């Protein structure tokens, strides 16, 4: 068993209305010192077997086609140790 | 980073510039140099390139679009005509309505959700800029074949984007159409229409007048969205080998837009703003040059004052950015504090970036150095104009000669019944409820009729019941067979749809979607369609108030079907008198109005049953359309009819089925003497409608039709038997009709 994590973020040049709303709430609720907030998605994927390079490549493919919208989002894939 | 200033440009005439990458032609670049008497700075180049793109300059279409003005019928109703953000129509009682349709095709293919959403956002801001409160949207959609993989990527995203943005703004979506055709594969059409309401005295024009008045940018911050989108999206068809040419995507924030709507309306109401212009394609470049050239002719802007989301943007990028939800206002110095107080109250970020001048120059500085110094008219109005060659394609005769007469026709009750059931389930005739149910049709509480009715109807004034009806139509197959007639058929159908609800048609907006203007055959289609539409509007007395042209809709060498989408707006004195589509009351008599001929060229039957497209489209008779509209409007006003449905794609059989299914009644129908049953049921002859007449009004109704010498035939009776019975041929239970009609889209997209 292994866990692969895919983090998906909007590309930096793309407007992030949710992040902007969170940033506004920071100010309203008195949390200070926040310059900017961007919000993304995190997927934790449990594999049936080990995180072989083939298995990770398969997750990368899934990330590019299913988990992220590469037109407006970037993603990173990493294997989480010690699960 | 060194900034390319006017001073530097004058000293370095030979510095190579990326005019080609920005979509300019060599002679266009040379013309910019001639106008300026030097090479343009990078910021000027960016500005000219977006403003001289097909999308912003209408350089290929201008020479043809003039006909809408030249042939415009005299109309008392028109308060603001073409050339402003949107046309404005007088509907009486001091109310004015503004409406416009605009395309967002290419962005919707690249990123369906955001493309469609920002399409809605853009047209809503156009309406808002006129001083009106947006009250409803509609959308006209075209996709590739229903079963194609790409349609399954694009359609759900587009539908969710239209619905999501509109729902967040709290605007009802009251209608539109959805059509599937292979020519729209990889080139979907997303045309969004918005309608807004104001009092006459609240009309605002986007002109920058009054020397010393402040230029204010407010709304969302400027980021890297869609940089170059305006020039690139409209200048190049998609080609997989050049991914770098794909336009950057704009992302909309509907909640920001909602705040902006309320903020702008309060600014107008407080009378602290002279003019407001929305920022759409070409962003600040467009807003500054158009405001300046429509006003006193000059403007001075300090570009570093623009609030940025991404501080690394270059001046040229700031000028071209298409970040959404931004507006530019012109404010007198005395009103500035009041203006800023209102935007602050709405939490809308605002920056004073310049002022109006009378120098005749648009001058833009970047930290004290001049980076733009141009005559704004050369940017906004005096762009290139092309008399592109156009020629009737050689294949047109062949296409028209290959008529539908040789296609095998169904005969006998069983075959006719099976044909009806198959047509009802075909993608173009199937119920679109799966799509329209994702939109909010009734928010704001003024929607009187919405999809699947013939036209959307809105109440405008609660005390008098004054309202408007709007319908959009556009049959690309008809236009392919004959673009002149096809455009008139689109107009005629939208006009008829509006009249069917009882509204008097007043004005037109058009969304013209065609392939590459560099192809003489496409240009011929375009020229013919405009000629047809302009002549048609003249004959029907409904002026074109504005609209949008989208060219380069093609993938590889194949253009889309020529698709002129026509929106017609009509007025109802009292929406309580509107005529709905569905039969409701047992015993009422069904009349068929208009003449039925053997017309199957471009028909839904030929296409869905035989994959055939050829011959000539149904003939147009605009005088008959006018007469039919008069009958429908008068009958509604005098309470002579309880239901009406126009006949269009699929003919009488489809219209009857829809009217019967609406409230789940039944009908007995007979074929009039001398008419072939197949022609009676499926012909697409124009200027026809079916109506349900209460027996008590039957004599008055037929007398009115006879007095006007308009063909009317008694073809059936409404009953409550739950069966559509075409006597002597077939009878189908409603359940079976409903299953056929309503399962196509849901089973395609819910699998």
pLDDT tier, B232 (very low <50, low <70, confident <90, very high otherwise): very low
B47 close to B319: Cβ distance less than 8 angstroms: yes
Integer-rounded Cα Rg, in Å, for chain A is: 16
Strands B173-180 and B133-143: parallel
> What ipTM is given for this predicted complex?
0.70
**CA B701/CA B638 separation, integer angstroms:** 10
Give pLDDT, residue B23. Answer: 84
> Which residues on B lie below 8 Å from A15 (Cβ)?
220, 223, 225, 250-253, 309, 323-324
Bridge partners, residue B510, by sequence: B547, B566
B638 close to B667: Cβ distance less than 8 angstroms: no
- Nearest CB neighbour to B111, from listed A13, A17, A71: A71
Give pLDDT, residue B43. Answer: 87
Domain assignments of chain B as residue spans, ordered by start: 579-750
Q: Which residues of B are annotated as part of the binding site for substrate? A: 103-106, 125, 250, 322-324, 550
Q: Which two tokens stand for residue B167?
A: 């729902």
- A21–B110 C-beta distance less than 8 A: no
The mean pLDDT of B266-277, rounded to a whole number, is: 92
Query: Is the CB of residue B90 less than 8 Å away from at least one CB of chain A?
Result: no
Domain count, chain A: 1
**Superfamily in which the B579-750 domain is placed by CATH:** PurM-like C-terminal domain (3.90.650.10)
**CA B142/CA B145 separation, integer angstroms:** 10
pLDDT by residue (tens digit) across B23-82? 888 999 999 999 999 999 988 988 898 899 888 888 899 889 889 888 888 887 888 877
Confidence check: pLDDT of B237 > 60: no
**CA A16/CA A24 separation, integer angstroms:** 12
pLDDT by residue (tens digit) across B531-586? 999 999 999 999 999 899 999 999 888 899 999 999 999 999 999 999 999 999 99
The mean pLDDT of B214-236, rounded to a whole number, is: 70
Considering only residues B284 and B246, tell me which one the structure prediction assigns the higher pLDDT: B284
- B249–A72 C-beta distance less than 8 A: yes
The H or E element spanning position B21 is none
Confidence check: pLDDT of B230 > 80: no
DSSP B282: B
- A71–B249 C-beta distance less than 8 A: yes
> How does DSSP assign A47-71, residue by residue?
ESS---HHHHHHHHHHIIIII--TT
| Chain mean position to CA B25 | 29
Give pLDDT, residue B311. Answer: 82
| Residue B244 CB partners (closer than 8 Å, separation 6+) | none
> Among residues of chain B, what percentage have pLDDT more than 70?
97
Query: Is the CB of residue B164 less than 8 Å away from at least one CB of chain A?
Result: no
Interface with B, mutate which of A12, A13, A19 (most B CBs under 10 A) = A13
Give pLDDT, residue B234. Answer: 37
Range of the domain at A20: 2-80
Residue in chain B lying closest to A37 (CA): B309
The H or E element spanning position B97 is strand B95-103
Residue position matching structure tokens 């690139």: B232
Q: Which two tokens stand for residue B493?
A: 């159908």
Give pLDDT, residue B743. Answer: 94
Interface with B, mutate which of A14, A15, A72 (most B CBs under 10 A) = A15
| Chain mean position to CA B452 | 18
Give pLDDT, residue B240. Answer: 39
Considering only residues B242 and B115, tell me which one the structure prediction assigns the higher pLDDT: B115
Cis peptide before B452, with omega less than 30 degrees from 0? yes
pLDDT by residue (tens digit) across B670-701? 999 999 999 999 999 999 999 999 999 999 99
Give pLDDT, residue B236. Answer: 41
How far is the alpha carbon of A83 from chain B, nearest alpha carbon, in Å?
Answer: 36
| Chain mean position to CA B517 | 20
How far is the alpha carbon of A12 from chain B, nearest alpha carbon, in Å?
Answer: 9
Give pLDDT, residue B513. Answer: 96
Active site residues of B: 55, 104
pLDDT tier, B246 (very low <50, low <70, confident <90, very high otherwise): very low
Here the CATH number for the domain that contains residue A28 is: 3.30.1280.10
The mean pLDDT of B598-619, rounded to a whole number, is: 96
Give pLDDT, residue A83. Answer: 52
Q: Is B535 helix (H, G, I), strand (E, B) or coil?
A: helix
Laid out side by side, the sheet with B189-199 consists of: B78-80, B87-92, B95-103, B189-199, B133-143, B173-180
Confidence check: pLDDT of B231 > 50: no
Mean per-residue pLDDT of chain B = 91
Residue in chain A lying closest to B244 (CA): A71
> Which residues on A lie below 8 Å from B309 (Cβ)?
15
pLDDT by residue (tens digit) across B354-394? 999 988 899 999 999 999 999 988 988 888 899 999 999 99
The mean pLDDT of B249-259, rounded to a whole number, is: 88
Residue position matching structure tokens 């959805």: B178
Give pLDDT, residue B529. Answer: 96
């Amino acid at each position: 068993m292994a866990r692969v994590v895919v983090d998906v973020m909007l590309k930096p040049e793309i407007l992030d209305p949710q992040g902007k709303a969170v940033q506004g709430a920071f100010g309203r609720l008195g949390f200070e010192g926040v310059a900017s907030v961007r919000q993304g998605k995190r997927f934790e994927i449990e594999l049936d077997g080990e995180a072989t390079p083939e298995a990770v490549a398969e997750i990368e493919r899934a990330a590019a086609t299913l988990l992220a919208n590469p037109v407006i989002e970037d993603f990173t894939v990493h294997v989480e140790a010690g699960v | 980073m060194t900034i390319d200033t006017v001073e530097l440009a004058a000293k370095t005439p030979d510095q190579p510039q990326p005019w080609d990458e920005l979509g300019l032609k060599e002679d266009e670049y040379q013309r910019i140099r001639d106008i300026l008497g030097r090479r343009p700075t990078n910021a000027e180049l960016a500005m000219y390139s977006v403003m001289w793109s097909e999308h912003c300059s209408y350089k290929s279409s201008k020479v043809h679009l003039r006909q809408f003005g030249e042939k415009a019928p005299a109309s008392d109703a028109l308060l603001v005509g073409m050339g402003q953000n949107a046309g404005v129509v007088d509907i009486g009682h001091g109310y004015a309505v503004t409406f416009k349709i605009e395309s967002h095709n290419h962005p919707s293919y690249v990123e369906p959700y955001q493309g469609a959403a920002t399409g809605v956002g853009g047209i809503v801001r156009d309406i808002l800029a006129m001083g009106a409160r947006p009250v409803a949207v509609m959308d006209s959609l075209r996709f590739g074949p229903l079963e194609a993989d790409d349609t399954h990527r694009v359609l759900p995203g587009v539908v969710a984007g239209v619905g999501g943005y509109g729902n967040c703004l709290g605007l009802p979506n009251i209608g539109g159409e959805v059509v599937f055709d292979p020519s729209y594969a990889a080139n979907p059409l997303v045309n969004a229409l918005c309608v807004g309401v104001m009092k006459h005295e609240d009309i605002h024009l986007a002109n920058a007048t009054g020397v010393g008045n402040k230029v204010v940018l407010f709304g969302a911050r400027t980021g890297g969205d869609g940089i170059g989108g305006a020039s690139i999206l409209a200048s190049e068809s998609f080609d997989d080998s050049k991914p770098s040419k794909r336009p950057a995507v704009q992302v909309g924030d509907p909640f920001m837009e909602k705040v902006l709507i309320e903020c702008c309306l309060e600014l107008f109401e407080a009378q602290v703003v002279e003019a407001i212009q929305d920022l759409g394609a070409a962003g600040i470049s467009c807003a500054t040059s158009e405001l300046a050239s429509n006003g006193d002719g000059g403007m001075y802007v300090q570009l570093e004052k623009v609030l940025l989301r991404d501080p690394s943007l270059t001046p040229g990028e700031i000028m071209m950015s298409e970040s959404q939800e931004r507006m530019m206002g012109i404010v007198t110095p005395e009103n500035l504090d009041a203006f800023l107080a209102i935007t602050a109250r709405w939490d809308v970020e605002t920056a004073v970036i310049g002022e109006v001048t009378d120098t005749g120059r648009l001058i833009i500085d970047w930290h004290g150095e001049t980076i733009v110094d141009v005559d704004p008219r050369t940017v906004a109005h005096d762009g290139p104009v092309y008399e592109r060659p156009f020629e009737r394609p050689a294949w047109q005769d062949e296409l028209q000669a290959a008529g539908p007469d040789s296609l095998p026709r169904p005969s006998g009750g069983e075959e006719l019944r099976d044909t009806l059931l198959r047509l009802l389930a075909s993608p173009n005739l199937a119920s679109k409820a799966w799509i329209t149910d994702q939109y909010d049709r009734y928010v704001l509480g003024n929607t009187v009729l919405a999809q699947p009715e013939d036209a959307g109807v809105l109440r405008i004034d609660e005390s008098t019941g004054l309202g408007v009806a709007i319908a959009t139509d556009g049959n690309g197959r008809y236009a392919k067979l004959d673009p002149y007639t096809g455009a008139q058929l689109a107009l005629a159908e939208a006009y008829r749809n509006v009249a069917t609800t009882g509204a008097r048609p007043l004005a037109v907006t058009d969304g013209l979607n065609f392939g590459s203007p560099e192809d003489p055959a496409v240009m011929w289609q375009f020229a013919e369609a405009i000629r047809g539409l302009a002549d048609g509007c003249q004959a029907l007395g409904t002026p074109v108030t504005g609209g949008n042209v989208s060219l380069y809709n093609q993938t590889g060498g194949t253009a889309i079907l020529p698709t002129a989408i026509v929106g017609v707006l009509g007025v109802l004195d009292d929406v309580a008198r509107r005529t709905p589509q569905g039969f409701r009351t047992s015993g009422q008599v069904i009349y068929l109005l208009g003449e039925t001929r053997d017309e199957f060229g471009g028909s839904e039957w030929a296409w869905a049953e035989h994959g055939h497209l050829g011959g000539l489209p149904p003939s147009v008779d605009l005088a008959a359309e006018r007469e039919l509209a008069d009958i429908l409007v008068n009958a509604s006003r005098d309470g002579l009819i309880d239901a009406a449905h126009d006949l269009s794609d699929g003919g009488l059989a489809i219209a009857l089925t829809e009217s019967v299914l609406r409230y789940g009644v039944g009908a007995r129908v007979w074929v009039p003497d001398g008419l072939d049953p197949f022609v009676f049921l499926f012909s697409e002859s124009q200027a026809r409608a079916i109506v349900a007449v209460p027996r008590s009004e039957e004599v008055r109704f037929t007398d009115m039709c006879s007095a006007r010498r308009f063909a009317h035939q008694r073809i059936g009776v409404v009953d409550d038997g739950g069966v559509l019975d075409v006597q002597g041929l077939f009878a189908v239970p409603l359940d079976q009709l409903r299953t056929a009609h309503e399962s196509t889209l849901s089973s395609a997209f819910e699998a």
